[in-house]
Structure 1
């Protein structure tokens, strides 16, 4: 369960980081201004819809950090080296085979993202 006081403090940290008032924050994520006021005062708990609006609007907010304080804010971006085709080639290269997977070859990898989208990599 989400600790309301801690959640409120993390929400305030987002507002401060982005230099937004509660009203501007509400407008930016598409909720009524009173919703923000009620959450910040502890009167209401955040809904799943509210949390998803925050994390979808602000890419630097990690959902796990927002809910339970685990992780960092702003979220550290994963850095990739090389172009997508180089990454695909590296994923399917024979150099990465593990001895227990002898004779097995990767044919497809699907990566699911927290926003509901995914990328699919097929061996060419």
Structure 2
């Protein structure tokens, strides 16, 4: 019986190896708007994920371009996945990752995606950040 129990629990021991950890109920409120050619983009997918190898030096949030394959891109560790509303607005919150305080934003419309960054200590005040208008 003990062997059967150990065998049943073994997958659980390895399930947390690549997991992100978050600080209890501590959340950052995020607001912003997505526009294309001065028209709000509605029902557009927005993903927010932690970044471990970026070090922003200001609170400016702008488009991120990747110059080579070593640059950071979404590695599938999305924390928040939401969509813009009818007026292109983003209104969400994300739990604070205990391993980093820097986050990137991926906006996808159809088959096209753009990356924006960074949410960090430079533009977060009292657990709130306004992304402003992100031009897609």
Pair member with larger Rg: 1
Higher strand share: 2
Q: How high is the TM-score relative to the length of structure 1? A: 0.21
Which has a greater percent of helix?
1
Higher relative contact order (CA 8 A, sep 6+): 2
